[in-house]
Structure 1
Amino acid sequence: MRGYDRDQDTFRPAVLGFRRRGTVSTGGYRVIGREQHQYRQDGGHDHRRQSALDHRQDTHEESKEEDAAAKVAAANKLITNRWEFNIDISAKLLNDNTDFLVVGVIGGQGAGKSSILNSICGFSHFPKQSRGTAFPAAAYEQHLSGKHCTVGVDIRMSSDRVIALDTQPVLSASHLLELLDSPSPSMEISRALTVSSGRGTRPAEASAEGVQLIMAIQMAVFLFNVCHVVLVVSNWMGDNGLLDLIECVDMFAPNIAKGMSQAGVSRVPHQLAKAVFVKSNVPPIDWEASKVARVQRLLQNKIGESKFCIGGHVSCWSDTRLQMPKSLAYIQKKDQVNFFVLPQARRSRRAEAPEPSQHQVMLDRLKLQILGINPSRKFDHGMTEREWFRWCESVWQGVQKDNIIAECYFRLQQTIFSGGGGW
C-alpha cells in the first residue's frame, strides 16, 4: 500500500541526551622521580566506588519502574496499538454496578489530556492519595524529543466508579512518524481502508496522513458513542484542525448507533456524549474575559448547532475573575457550548503554599461540574458496567466494519475540496 515507503524522506526529531552532574575525581596520582605512587585523596577511590554502586542501583530501580509502568499500561489497554479491542480487562475492572460515569478525553499532543483526566478522577502517582492507578503523563525528555506518551486507548476505574478513557493524540507528528516507519499497517487499520464498489469491497490506497486522519475519526466516533462526557482539550486558542475533527464526528457518529439498532443490537443508547471544550495552559496575557469570550463565540458559530456540543452543563464564567461579558448574554444557557479554560500551572517558589493556585481552583471547579452531570440521560436505566463493556466492543466492531469514513475520504480526494479542512 502506498504511503508507507520507508525510503522516502521523513522528518525525524532529534533526541537530546542529558547527563547528570557528578563529581569528577582525579586519579590521585603523583609522580616522584621514576616511581609512580597512588594515594587516596579525600577518599577518591571510595567515592568512585560508592558512586558506581549508587548509579547501578538507580539504574536498576528506574528499569524496575519502567517495567512496572509498562505492565500496568498493557493491563489497562482498551484499544491496543494494533487497533484491536482488548476483551481481557472486563473481569478485573468492571462489575454489575449500574451507577457509573464514563469520561473520555481527546486532543492534540502535549495538551495535558492525561493530567486533566487524573485530576478529575482523583488519580495520583502517590498510591496512598490516589483513588486508582494514574494515567502516565509525558516526561520532560519526551516533550523535548517530540514523542507522545499514550498509545491507543487506556482505561482506568476510580474508587467512585468513574470510568476514564485516555486516548493517543490526534493529528500528531509523532504518531505520523510511527506510521511512516511501519512497513505496513495492521489488519484492523487495513480494514478501515476498504471502500465500497460495484463488485463489493476493495482495498484502497491512502497516504500516511490519510490513515492518521481516518484513525482519529474512528477513535473520536467511538468515544462519543460510549462515553457520557468527552473532554476536547487543546492548548492554544485557534486549533481549527481539532474543530474540523469534531464536525466530522457530528456527521459520522449517529450512523454507528443507527446501524447497530437496525442490526438488532439490544439496548442501544439514544444519545451521544456531551462534548466539553477545554482550553488548557492559557497564558496570563490571554486570561481576560474579552479574549475568552472571543474563543467561545468562535466555538458557538462553528459547532453551536451540533446537538452534543451544547447544553450549558459546564462553564468557566462562574469564576469571579471571569464574569460573562454582555456580548454573550444573549445566548441562553441551554444553547451555550460547554466551554472551560484552564490557566497555566505555575510552581510556587515558596516552601509553603497558603492558597491554592488559580490553575488548581479552576481545575477543581471543572471536576465538580463534570462529576455533576447526570449519567442516566445517556444509557438506558439499569445498564451495568459489564453490559457497557459489551456495548463498547460492539461499537468498535461497528466502527471497523463501517467503511463510510474511508469512502467519504477517498471521494473527497477526487474533488476540488481535496486538502480542505484537514482532508
Structure 2
Amino acid sequence: MSESGHSQPGMYGQGRRRRRRRGERESGIPGQNLSGPSRDRDYYPRERRDTSEDPPGQLLQKTPIILAKPPGERSKPAQSVSVSGAPAPEKPIMLIKTREDATKCGTPPETTPQLPGSGPSKMEREGQRPTQPVYQIQNRGMGASASSGAGDPVVGQTKLIAPEKMRQSIKLVDDQMNWCDSAMEYLRDQTDMLVVGVLGLQGTGKSTIMSLISANTPEEDQRAFVFRTQTQEIKERAGNQSTGIDFFITQERVIYLDTQPILSPSILDHLINNDRKLPPEYNLPHTYIEMQSLQMAAFLFTVCHVVIVVQDWFTDINMYRFLQTAEMLKPSTPSASHDSTGSSGAEEGAEYYPHIVFLQNKARRDDFCPRNLKNMHSVVDKMMAHSHLKYKGTLSMLDCNMFPGLGRKYLESEVNLFLLPPQDSEGDECLTKAGSGSSPLFSLLPGYRGQPTFSSVVSKLRSQILAMPRCQLSHTILTEKNWFHYAARIWDGVKKSSALAEYSRLLA
C-alpha cells in the first residue's frame, strides 16, 4: 500500500498533463483543455505553473520577442526588386548609444570575440550593448531615414570635418561699400573666436602687419601674403592696394579684418578723376571719403575684440580726433530687452567698446630709448583720457622682455603701445661689416642694434594680440556664423545711421 500510495500522485499528475496536451491539440488553443474540470485551471499561462513538476530531462525554450516599430511609422525607401521578382528585404534599423554610456570618456568601447558556449559578456550581463564609435558611422547611407535625422544631436556629432583652411583673404565689404556673403562658408558653429581689425593712414603697412600676425613670416615673399601688400608700381604713383574690408580666418579661429586706408588721398583722386557718381546724400567728394572712413571705424568698434591703429610716425593729432569722432558715431550695442529694470548708469555701462592697440610701425632707434618710450606713453594717455575705448592695461612691451632691466613701475601710465622696427636689414649688414673689420674678436659678437630684431618683435606682437581678452560683443554669446549675421546687421545700420547722416550734413 505504501508503494502504491506514493506512486499514485505522480501517475495522476502525468495523466493530467497528457490529457491537457491532448486537449490542446484537439482544440488548437494553447492552454485550453476541453476535458472537464481541469479547463479552468489550465487557462492561465504555462509560465505560472510550478516548474518542479517538469521532468528534469526536458527544457522548455522561450520564443524570442522582437521589438520593432509599426510598419506605418517606418520610413519607406524605394524597394529594389530582385531578379526573382520578390522585393528585397529592408535595411535593418541600427540603434546607437551615446558616448556617455562608454566605459571610458572619449574612448569607444571595444568588443572581444566570444567563444561558443562561453556565455554572455560582461557588458551584456550589466545591461549594456557594445556599440561602434559615433565618428565611424559618418557618411553611411541610411536611405530616406538619413534626411529625417537631420535634427538629431547624434547626427550632428558625426560631422567632425576639419574646417577648410584659407589661403588668401576674401572680400567682406567691396569697393562699392556693399556687403559680401562669400565668407560664410569658412565659418563654424563654435564660440571660441577672436576678431581683430586694423585702421591706419595710407602707406603705413596695415596689410603687411596683418599678414605677419595671422599666417605669414617675414622670410616669405610678400606676393604670397594673405593680405595683398603694395607693389612697387603702386608705391611710385602713391596709390592704395586695399579697398573695402578684407576677411581672413585662421585655423585657430581668429578673424582678421583689413580695411582700406582712412582719409586716403588716392581714393579721393580716383573718385574725382573717374567722374564716379556720389550717393545723393553727399555733395562733395572729400565729405564722402571721410564718411566712408568713419563708417568703417565705427563698424570695427562694434564687431571687433581688438582694433590695431597703425601709424608710421609719432604722432598725428588728427588721428586721435578721428578715433574720438568714430567712437561718438559708433552704433549702440543691441540689448536683449528694453525693460527699465536697471538704472541709466547700468545701461551705459553695458555699452560695448573694444580694446585698442597703437602700433608704431617703422620705429626709429631713438624710440626704443626708455626716456622716449615713457614720453610716448604719457602723450597717448593724455590724448585718450576722455575715451571709453580700452586703450590701456591689456598689452605691455615690458612683459615681452623687450626692455630688460625696466620694471613695471617705470611707466606710470602704460598704454597699449607697441613699437615695430623697420623690416629692412641694410643697417644690420653695415653694423656687422663695421664690427668685423677691426678685430677678429668683433666677428664673434653680434653688431649692436640698440633695438630688437624685426622677427622677434613680430612674434611677441602676435602672442600679445592673441592673449587679449575676448569680451562679449552683444547681449548673447555669438558663434562664428552668428557673428557674421550680427556684423552684416551692424554694417547695414552704420550705412543708414541718422547720426552719421547728421554729421555729414554738418560737414557740408
Q: Which TM-score tier does this pair reach, normalised by the shorter chain?
A: 0.5 to 0.7
More strand by share: 1
Cα deviation, 1:168-225, whole Å, max 9, x if unaligned, reads 0111211111121242346xxx2xxxxxxxxxxxx54532211111110000000111
2:250 to 148, 158, 183: 158
Matched, 1:359 2:454: yes
Q: Rate the CA distance shift 1:344–1:363 in 2: closer, same or farther, 3 A.
A: same
| Matching of residues 47-86 of structure 1 within 5 Å | 76-86=170-180
Give the match's secondary structure for 1:337: coil
Q: Rate the CA distance shift 1:296–1:125 in 2: closer, same or farther, 3 A.
A: closer
Give the match's secondary structure for 2:270: helix
1:271 to 334, 337, 352: 352
The equivalent of 2:214 in structure 1 is 121
Moved more, 140-149 or 316-325: 316-325
Q: Rate the CA distance shift 1:380–1:175 in 2: closer, same or farther, 3 A.
A: same
Matched, 1:321 2:403: yes
Deviation at 1:261, TM superposition (A): 7.4
The equivalent of 2:441 in structure 1 is none
The equivalent of 2:381 in structure 1 is 300
- Native 8 Å contact 2:212 2:458 kept in 1: yes
Tell me how far apart the structure 1 counterparts of residues 262 and 273 of structure 2 sit (CA, whole Å): 18
AA partner of residue 220 (structure 1): A
2:196 to 73, 81, 103: 103
The equivalent of 2:416 in structure 1 is 338
Q: Pick the structure with greater CA Rg.
A: 2
Tell me how far apart the structure 1 counterparts of residues 359 and 316 of structure 2 sit (CA, whole Å): 11
Tell me how far apart the structure 1 counterparts of residues 254 and 477 of structure 2 sit (CA, whole Å): 16
AA partner of residue 257 (structure 1): T
The equivalent of 2:371 in structure 1 is 290
Cα deviation, 1:44-80, whole Å, max 9, x if unaligned, reads xxxxxxxxxxxxxxxxxxxxxxxxxxxx87x710000
TM-score (norm 2): 0.55
| Matching of residues 110-259 of structure 1 within 5 Å | 110-123=203-216, 134-185=226-277, 190=279, 203-253=280-330, 255-257=331-333
Q: Rate the CA distance shift 1:184–1:225 in 2: closer, same or farther, 3 A.
A: same
The equivalent of 1:373 in structure 2 is 468
- The gaps in structure 2 that reach 5 residues or longer are 1-166, 339-349, 433-445
Moved more, 391-400 or 96-105: 96-105
- Native 8 Å contact 1:256 1:395 kept in 2: no
The equivalent of 1:416 in structure 2 is none
Give the match's secondary structure for 1:313: coil
Cα deviation, 1:222-280, whole Å, max 9, x if unaligned, reads 01111110100010102222211111122111x34359976xxxxxx952221111110
Q: Rate the CA distance shift 1:99–1:217 in 2: closer, same or farther, 3 A.
A: same
Give the match's secondary structure for 1:282: coil
Q: Rate the CA distance shift 1:257–1:164 in 2: closer, same or farther, 3 A.
A: same
The equivalent of 2:393 in structure 1 is 312
How much identity, in percent, do the aligned residues show?
26
Tell me how far apart the structure 2 counterparts of residues 120 and 357 of structure 1 sit (CA, whole Å): 17
Moved more, 211-220 or 286-295: 286-295
Q: Rate the CA distance shift 1:107–1:299 in 2: closer, same or farther, 3 A.
A: same
AA partner of residue 376 (structure 2): V
Deviation at 1:133, TM superposition (A): 6.7
- Native 8 Å contact 2:307 2:357 kept in 1: yes
Tell me how far apart the structure 1 counterparts of residues 255 and 371 of structure 2 sit (CA, whole Å): 35
Q: Which has the higher contact order (CA 8 A, sep 6+)?
A: 1
Deviation at 1:381, TM superposition (A): 6.1
- Native 8 Å contact 1:314 1:366 kept in 2: no
TM-score (norm 1): 0.66
Deviation at 1:124, TM superposition (A): 5.5
The equivalent of 1:68 in structure 2 is none
AA partner of residue 269 (structure 2): L
Q: Rate the CA distance shift 1:111–1:276 in 2: closer, same or farther, 3 A.
A: same
AA partner of residue 494 (structure 2): V
Q: Rate the CA distance shift 1:286–1:126 in 2: closer, same or farther, 3 A.
A: closer
Give the match's secondary structure for 1:341: strand
Give the match's secondary structure for 2:329: helix
AA partner of residue 394 (structure 1): R
Give the match's secondary structure for 2:182: coil
Give the match's secondary structure for 2:360: strand
Q: Rate the CA distance shift 1:299–1:150 in 2: closer, same or farther, 3 A.
A: same
Deviation at 1:375, TM superposition (A): 1.4
Give the match's secondary structure for 1:105: strand
- Native 8 Å contact 2:305 2:471 kept in 1: no
